[in-house]
Amino acid sequence: MVALSLFSMQRFNTYMDYSNQMDHTGFVITQVLKTELSLRDIDRSERGYMITKDTMYLRFLNNAVDSISKTIGKLAVMTADNRDQQKNITLLKAAVAIRIAAARDNINYVDSANTSTPSKYYFDSRQLMTDCSRKLRALEAAENKLLMERFKGEHIYEELTTDTLKYLLVIFCVVTLLLFGIMIKELRGRMKYQLELQAKIIDLKRSHSELEEIAYAASHDLQEPLRKIQVFSNMLLYQKTGSVNDEAKATLERINNSANRMQLLITDLVSLTNLTKTEELKSATSLDKVVKYTLADIEDKVAEKKAVVEVQPLPVITGYDTQLKILFRALLDNSLKFTREGIKPVITISCEIINGHELAGVNPNLLSKKFYRITCSDNGIGFDNQFITKIFQIFQRLHTQQSEYEGKGIGLAICQRIMANHEGYIIGHGEPGMGAQFKLFFPVEG
């Protein structure tokens, strides 16, 4: 379509060029005719003075001479690009100059002579007039020839331009109809996709409801048998101490410990599922206040570890105050938990505004968005980055149950869920024996 449009414009421009050239040729012919009229005025003024000796004819003569000089000057300018016409104009100038000189000589002769017999100057003027007329006819004939050539070119390109515009209009209509058909097809496809998406959303809501029912069962129905296991094992362990041997006692303690751990896991699972549905409303929340509250809550742990916590100014975001406190509590607990022996723990929390280039691997559409990047780093035991996906999964630990480091492997899963509730992201980076770093990305509003 662009190529056809450019081709059509080229045709139209050529047509306009021919049209302008025709107008130009018409102006040249008009000047030729004005030159001829001026020559005739010179001739009439000369003969009128010869007959009447009225000085009025001399004024007419001078006016005609001035007019013909200007007209020939315009002709020279208007035909500057035509070498043949320039030659004709040069010859015409010379002939007109001789004709004007002959007319003046004839008038001088009339003024000085007392006879009515025409002088030879008058007969010379007649011949010179004929010569000037011949040169004007040659000039006019050349312009008429150019006019006919340009008229033919204009006519040809007028037809070509008209046909091109017709074809272009037809092609535009066909392309428009084709694009309209494609648009309708695409729209139908999108509508079908939208219906499928709505069906999947309905299925997702149903699955979400089922998960909530499972969470409810875990928090109520599944904990009741665990409590009974704990009660009965304690009854055997503490009320029947005389009839229970050491081996049975050890077994009962293991049963009781497992039941306690199971209950804690279920409690954490309920905490995680409860984050998917909250009755709390989002509000403007100062992360500075959230971190200060969290540090006050774990003041004993910080003192016990003799840790140094450095907190730079943090922004105010729109979020859930309670969830944000859980988020920073989990991150600080991790940093205080996984410390190196003999190394004073140093925890740093900082903030800066960035574009989403660090999240390109998560979603390329985030590159142009702005985020508050909250970085929580420590100098603890760190971790191998090959396990970065595992640490955010529920009940996944990088250490065995018998490890000196406590935990159930749900803290970072809760952090990830909280960041999702705030339309944000969390990524981690660690180096074994050097420390860990977790980056929280909260979208900048507006």
Average pLDDT, integer, range 404-417: 70
Query: By mean pLDDT, which of 19-23, 268-272, 378-382, 416-420 is the weakest?
Result: 268-272
390 is a domain residue = yes
Average pLDDT, integer, range 396-403: 50
Q: Per-residue pLDDT tens for 30-75? A: 888 888 888 888 888 888 888 788 889 889 888 988 998 898 888 8
Place of tokens 């996944």: 396
Dihedral sign computed on CA atoms, order 153, 10, 29, 131 = negative
pLDDT at position 217 = 66
pLDDT at position 402 = 45
pLDDT band at 208 (very low <50, low <70, confident <90, very high): low
- Looking from the CA of 29 toward its CB, the CA atoms found within 13 Å total 15
Q: Per-residue pLDDT tens for 133-178? A: 888 888 888 888 888 888 888 788 777 777 777 877 888 888 889 9
Cβ neighbourhood burial of 222 (10 Å; 0-12, 13-18, 19+) = middle
What CATH number has the domain bearing residue 67?
1.20.120.1730
pLDDT at position 218 = 61
What is the number of structural domains in the chain?
A: 3
Distance of CA 143 to the CA centre of its chain: 55
189 is a domain residue = no
pLDDT at position 292 = 93
Judgement on whether residues 380 and 324 belong to the same structural domain of the protein: yes
Taking 70 as the threshold, does the pLDDT of residue 394 lie above it?
no
251 is a domain residue = yes
203 is a domain residue = no
pLDDT at position 446 = 65
Averaged pLDDT score across all residues of the chain = 81
Judgement on whether residues 110 and 253 belong to the same structural domain of the protein: no
pLDDT at position 149 = 84
Judgement on whether residues 247 and 381 belong to the same structural domain of the protein: no
N-term to C-term CA, the chain: 41
> Rounded CA gap, 271 and 415, in Å?
12
Judgement on whether residues 12 and 145 belong to the same structural domain of the protein: yes
Instruction: Determine contact, residues 362/369, Cβ cutoff 8 Å.
Output: no
Residue type, 353: I
Q: Which domain holds residue 394?
A: 278-443
CB atoms within 10 A of CB 103: 25
Domain end call among 108, 142, 175: 175
69 is a domain residue = yes
> Rounded CA gap, 12 and 85, in Å?
29
Q: What is the 3-state secondary structure (H, E, C) of 187-249?
A: HHHHHHHHHHHHHHHHHHHHHHHHHHHHHHHHHCCCHHHHHHHHHHHHHHHHHCCCCCCHHHH
Judgement on whether residues 408 and 308 belong to the same structural domain of the protein: yes
Judgement on whether residues 288 and 257 belong to the same structural domain of the protein: no
For residue 357, the 8-state DSSP code is G
Taking 90 as the threshold, does the pLDDT of residue 183 lie above it?
yes
Average pLDDT, integer, range 263-271: 68
Q: Per-residue pLDDT tens for 116-128? A: 566 677 777 778 8
Taking 90 as the threshold, does the pLDDT of residue 441 lie above it?
yes
pLDDT at position 403 = 47
Q: Per-residue pLDDT tens for 338-367? A: 888 888 899 999 999 988 888 887 888 888
202 is a domain residue = no
pLDDT at position 442 = 93
Judgement on whether residues 57 and 92 belong to the same structural domain of the protein: yes
pTM (2 d.p.): 0.51
| Torsions phi, psi for 79 (to 5 deg) | -110, 25
> Rounded CA gap, 329 and 335, in Å?
10
Average pLDDT, integer, range 242-265: 74
Judgement on whether residues 261 and 306 belong to the same structural domain of the protein: no
> Rounded CA gap, 349 and 312, in Å?
6
Cβ neighbourhood burial of 14 (10 Å; 0-12, 13-18, 19+) = middle
Q: Per-residue pLDDT tens for 308-318? A: 999 999 999 99
Taking 90 as the threshold, does the pLDDT of residue 291 lie above it?
yes
311 is a domain residue = yes
Q: Per-residue pLDDT tens for 216-238? A: 666 666 677 777 777 777 777 67
- Considering only the C-alpha atoms of the chain, give the largest distance between any 2 of them, rounded to a whole number of Å: 178
> Six-digit token pair at 195?
């219906």
Taking 60 as the threshold, does the pLDDT of residue 400 lie above it?
no
Instruction: Determine contact, residues 116/53, Cβ cutoff 8 Å.
Output: no
What CATH number has the domain bearing residue 307?
3.30.565.10
Q: What is the 3-state secondary structure (H, E, C) of 4-48?
A: HHHHHHHHHHHHHHHHHHHHHHHHHHHHHHHHHHHHHHHHHHHHH
Q: What is the DSSP string of 272-315?
A: HHHTTS--PPPEEEEHHHHHHHHHHHTHHHHHHHT-EEEE----
Judgement on whether residues 164 and 71 belong to the same structural domain of the protein: yes
186 is a domain residue = no
Judgement on whether residues 225 and 254 belong to the same structural domain of the protein: yes
pLDDT at position 159 = 78
Q: Which of 127, 38, 20 is nearest to 74 (CA)?
A: 38
Judgement on whether residues 322 and 344 belong to the same structural domain of the protein: yes
Look at residue 136 and give its three-state secondary structure. helix
Judgement on whether residues 41 and 138 belong to the same structural domain of the protein: yes
